[in-house]
Structure formats: structure tokens, C-alpha cells
A and B are shown apart, each in its own frame.
Chain A
């Protein structure tokens, strides 16, 4: 068994990244022109990496599944991006951002990676402002900040409720400039369906042209996967309809370790489910918890009356409301981290205090903020979110409290990468949400944008050179090599097999069933029996899918059902790996809550002596169970504690 080597540089925490950069190998400008890099994905990580690599002189081939790189789902991030600027003079620092992120991740992330993330966070803000990103400003003309969960300082930069959009459009414009200059070749409506290895190194991909339906081969000196997370395994999530885990999954099947698949984030503030036809869940930004207060009725009879439609929330007197986050966590109140807030909502609803006609909702109330600040201030801060809520729910949140409930949102787990963001396959890199690296078992709000852009602008463009410096003598590959031909043939066989099933059920109907299994057994609270049951159910569902799915149309043509089916085949397998990982991790930490491991107050109970490691799963073939390898997490600089948001 190969020991897992994270390649973390030696030395004091604050000097590791500097030392690395001082001593890494570089590629000179003339050689950069001779090297090709494939970047799959055009979200924050992919677009920023593609643009930065092209600016440096590499030739970049960039792929996206949408009709334009600007559509990647990073665009939907609302609240903001963290950075340790300390512009508010409230005691923030690189160390404090590092510490909050490590603690927020329940001590399951790699210290050196997180410190580097905090370190480069400030450069991201500088870069975005230089690109013309219109961050919110104070009257004095300087940048404004807001607070986010898991922090006691205001370090979140924002552009109304559209921060992800503005940051993505910044990266997209940098990328567009390089496309215009011919340094990036863009392949839109192309989906990566396999990674191709030659002599053990990643040397290209097979992509399906979604317009023509044909498979195409692309060769390069290195491959970067920036394809986001896999939480659409649950069918209902805040992710876009097209977001999928397939590119990462193909990397796993070609030998890249998949790390911590059980760590997924359930976001506490989403609009509750309203019906069977529902296709996705809409997030209400965490920033709302700055001014909104979360409560449920304190008396069960009130909750019952509300569910029956006999009572309105505004009729419940102050003393009969239970602001349960403020009650349980006085120090952080409504701004506890997401995993804590989600579980607390579930606890109240399970106990019978939930509201809405399903009983699966809690209130997020702005009446205090409106009284204190005035409606116009609240409107300025959250106007677009309130409008979005009203359009979906048909209720005015200025007058009636919003109803919210937790929903799947983000995958902390993903492809295992070392300090250089390289997977266990040489030449194959993973950045952004697609990798597992920086958030441990739980991600803090406003840190996804930070990590995506850190990886793409300021980390990968350095670390990939340490790999490519050895590759300057390697001539361009032909995509007619037998490895490419064989990979394409295998994909074609898989597609043919799917088309031949000609069963009775639509892809979506099976995907919804998968979602129910996941939510029921591998959701907010997990236990050994439920997880074993999930493994059994997933096995049955896999059989059902491969014997009863119906895909109309032709495979060598635009075929949306086929696109979805290929992704669903992988989602079912991702669900299985999540179940294995959840079973293995006999502790509760961050987004992974095992009911067997909790404190008497119902808080997550880690088992540091047994589980202070990254679970790295290695694929062994379709018929065999995967093997788990461990990357031990040595905490050299931070003392691990039970997370405390109470005082």
C-alpha cells in the first residue's frame, strides 16, 4: 500500500507557502507556449485558472457543459466572500481566518492548506476590484463588509445578494479576454466523460459534444478538473439542474482517490419543499441571518394551529416564541455555523414544533430588524432575496416571517489532492468544490467563493508549474493513441448499453427515488442500521436503473435524457460510496452526524483518537468494494477542541 503523501512543505505554518513558492520549479515563457492544459469547468475555480494560466503563456483548452462559461453555478452564490483584510478594524487577521475555518471544519482539514487559503484571501479581493467587480461600498468610498456564520468579525465582502455572480463575471471577463486573444480555446456544450491516461499520467479527456452527441478526444500535458460538487445525488438541492459529479467520478475510476465523500453540507436557510413536482430548492442567503431571527412556536398547540392554517405567525406573542438558536448558543446566536443551525432546525421540527403545512419549516423573522433599521435599510441589504422569496412562495416577507428549512448545498468531500492540488494520478489536478481540501467536515459561509478563486488565481497557476517543469521536453500528444481510442470505445459501449435498455421509467423518476433514499438514510442524521439499509436500497436502484430506464431519441444527437442518464448512473455509485464512508466514520463531525455519537446536549461528538484522518477511497473495479487509505491529519499548530458556539 502506498503511503499517502500530502507533500506539505516543512517549516512554520506562516512560512510554508512562501517557502514553497521560493523553491518550486518554474517553466520559462518560451516553454509555456509549448505546453497545453485542459481545464474542465468554467466556474470560479475553472474560469480563474484558465484565465490565469493563459495570461502566463500556457495554451488552455477550456470546457463547459452550458451554452456559455458565464452560466456555471458559482453564479448563484449570494452572500459574499471572506478575506482577512481587517478593513473593519475588528481584530481580524490571516491567523484568525485560518483558525475560524479550521474550527468551522471541525478539525478535519489540512492545516497547511487552510492557512494558505487565508493567506491568499486578501489578494483575491484586490484582484476582483481591479477587474471592476462592483463590491458594496460605504459612503466614504471604501469597501463594506458584513458578518457570516462561524465568525465574530465582519470579513465578508459582498455585491448585494449577487456576490457569486459578480465574482464569476469578473473571472469570465478575464477568461473572455484570453479567448479573444486566442490563448484559450473554449468548448461550450461539451461534457467531459472520461480522463485518458498515458503511461500512468493524465494526458487528455474524452468529451461528449452535447449539440451533436458525438464523442471527441482532446490531448494535453495536464488536466485540471474544476467541475464542482456532487450533492445533486440527492436530486433536490440548491445546485443547478446540470451540476453533477461525473467528471470527478471518472477521475476516481481512473485511479484518483475520492476523499471524505460523506461530508456534504446541508444549508439551514432554504425555501421549504412544496410538492412532488419540485425540481430544485432555492437558497436564501446566509447573510439573512445577520438581521433575521430564527424561531418556532414555544407551545406545541400553537405549532399545530399554524400547520392547520388556523393561526398566523404574526399572531404569536413574543413570549410564546422560541428563538432556539439564541437560546442554545448565546455567543453566536443566529450566526452559528451551517451544520449546527441545520441540525437545530431538524431537532425542533422532529420534536413537533415545525411550521408550514408540512411541519418541516421554521421562521426567519425580520420584524425586529425592520423596527430597528427601517424597511428601506432592510430592502437595501436584502431586497433581491425578498423579491425572490415572494415570487416563489407568494408571501410578502416584509409582513410575514419567511419560512425556511435545511437543504443540500455543498460537497466538502471530493477528489483527494495534495498540497499542490494534484490528485493521486500524476498530471491530474482538481480545484474548487471538486476537490476535498480546505473545508474539512463543514464549510463556513462565504468560504466557497474564497476557495474557488484562491485555487484558480493564486494556487494552481503556481503549483502546476512544479509538475509541468518536467514536461517541457514532452511533445504534443496525438489523440489517436491507443489509450484514447480505447477510452472512447468504453464510453461508447456504456452509452450503447444505456440506449438498449428501453425500459419504462424516465431518468428523473429514478433520480427522485435516489434522492429519497439519500435524504432518508444519508441526510442530516445517520446511523449504522440506516446506512446499511441505504447500501441495500442503492444496490436495488442500480439494478432498476440499468434494466428499466427509458431514453428516447438517438445517442449520436442532441439528447438531454441521455445526458441525464449518464450523470445519474454515476450519482447512484457516488451515493454508494457516501454510504460506505458514512458507515466507516464512526463519529460525528461537521456535516456528518452519526446519531450514535453525540453529547448529552445533542452536539456532534468527534472521535479524534480514531478518526483524525482523511478517508481516501481507491476504486477497485465495478464488482469490488473500494479500498480505504488514510491520510493522517497531524495538528501541529492548533489544539483541537469540541466546537463551542455557546459562550
Chain B
């Protein structure tokens, strides 16, 4: 049964990208375990506003685990201690009475801090802009059932397509690698006949952009897979590597 708990929060506060940040400690009493982690932060912010202080800035939007906006590093884990959830789906019942909880922004060279717990993840959009699409214009496409696709491939493509672009993979990686993110898009499109046509162009463009933006490479530590809220598998990285090697060999 859910009850109310008292907690201590150590929250990273940082005014801007170029300014020095530090942890601030806050005490919060009577937190319902039925509330989500972000609802707990709402309560903290309400308290800070009452005290005339500036609330903690953090990114969040849908609060149902699909928009990929929330991005907190909680007790050393992206999206906190629960598995297969985003921060907004993490509930306070995962913490016990008297707990001290450390909250940080994503820590990765690719994601500079904007304010407090907010980071800039535009690098991920830039990687998609480099090639994460099928080059079709609106209109003039064949009937949706014109090309049958085996259920197995469609399901595998969907597994990869579940990625929400939150950045937990790069934040969890000791190399700051974005390869799980890229492999998800490369796999989704490489598995489908619609995306096959430009598969080699796509994989080369996306990898080149990733390198340019300063993300590291994969050394198979698998921390990305463990922390991914959508359980995207690193077998996608294996597929990414195969696609990349084949594409390079064709050059």
C-alpha cells in the first residue's frame, strides 16, 4: 500500500550553459508514494515559489512516457531506479521513507545544460535531419497494401521504432555514444522495403553526423539498453554496424 514519506533531495542547480552549477539540498515531507516523480517535483516547486525562490527548471510534457521530453538522472540512473519507464512514469513508491535522492540533468558532451535539469538535445534532431527518413514527397505513393511485409520484419521494425529520442542512451554511455538512438532509426527503415532503397546512403549520413557532433562510439557495455525506457535492444547496434560496413564496402 502507498503511504506518505519524507525525503531529502539533492538537486543540480545551474543558471545557464556557461555558468557553474552546484547541488542544493531540499527537504520534502509527506510525499505521497502514489505520486509520480515529477509530481513530487511540482510539490517542491510549489514550496520554492511560496518561499519566494526560483523553481527548479526541468523538461517534461506528456507525463505518460511517450514524448521523450523528461530527462532526469536520478541516483545515478537515467530515468531513475525503475526499469522500462521514463522519469514521468517513475513513482515515489520506488523510494522509501528517509531516502536521499540525487537529481541531475543528462551528463553528456552532446547535450549541454540550458538551466538546472534542462538540456539541449537538438543534436538528435540534427542526426535525423541528416538521413533518418525515407525520401518520399506527399502524394503519388503506391497503395499501402501493394508491398506485403512479413509480420516478423514489421514487428522488428516496430520494436526499433519505439525509440522516443529522450537521450537516456547517450546519457548512460561512458563514451557518450548515440549509437542506440541511431541504430533504432536505421534498423526500423532498413527492415522495411520502403526504407531499403536508400539504406546505405542513410547509414553513412547519420554516422557521419554523429561523429561530427562529438558523440562517442560503442564499446558494447550495454548500459544504453539497460536504461532505455522503451527497451530498445542493442541487437539494433549490431544491425547498424552491419549496414554501415556493407555500405562502406560498396563505396
Contacts and interface: CB of A to CB of B under 8 A. Distances in A.
Contacts of A274: 34
Interface stretch (A3-11, A137-145, A578-586): A137-145
A160 B194 contact: no
Interface in A160-191: 160, 162, 164-166, 169, 172-174, 176-177, 179-180, 188
Interface in B27-77: 32, 34-36, 38-40, 42-43, 45-46, 48-50, 52-55, 57, 59-69
A169 B141 CA distance: 18
Contacts of B53: 552
Interface in B80-135: 82, 84-85, 89, 91, 93, 114-115, 118, 120-122, 124-125, 128-130, 132-135
B133 A131 contact: yes
Contacts of A130: 134, 136, 141-142, 194
Contact of B194 (A132, A177, A242, A558): A132
- A interface residue count range (under 10 / 10 to 19 / 20 to 34 / 35 or more): 35 or more
Given A73-B62, A130-B141, A173-B133, A277 B55 contact: no
B18 to A, nearest CB: 13
A70 B68 contact: yes
A188 B144 contact: no
Contacts of A561: 49, 55
B161 interface: yes
Given A130-B194, A392-B91, A242 B57 contact: no
A128 B189 CA distance: 13
Interface in A441-464: 457-458, 461
Contact of A132 (B63, B84, B189): B189
Q: Is the interface of B mostly helix, strand, loop or mixed?
A: loop
Interface stretch (B5-13, B151-159, B215-223, B241-249): B151-159
B49 A506 contact: yes
Given A127-B139, A174-B133, A176-B133, A280 B63 contact: yes
A92 to B, nearest CB: 14
A392 B158 contact: no
A211 interface: yes
Given A67-B120, A141-B151, A180-B130, A279 B57 contact: no
Given A73-B62, A552-B49, A174 B129 contact: no
Contacts of A165: 66, 162, 164
A188 B68 CA distance: 15
3 closest A-B pairs by CB: A141-B148, A173-B133, A180-B129
20 contacts: A69-B125, A71-B61, A73-B67, A123-B139, A126-B144, A131-B194, A132-B194, A142-B145, A162-B162, A169-B161, A174-B133, A176-B132, A242-B61, A392-B36, A392-B91, A458-B139, A461-B138, A506-B50, A552-B48, A552-B55
Interface of B: 2, 32, 34-36, 38-40, 42-43, 45-46, 48-50, 52-55, 57, 59-69, 82, 84-85, 89, 91, 93, 114-115, 118, 120-122, 124-125, 128-130, 132-139, 141-145, 148-151, 154, 157-158, 161-162, 164-165, 188-189, 192, 194-195
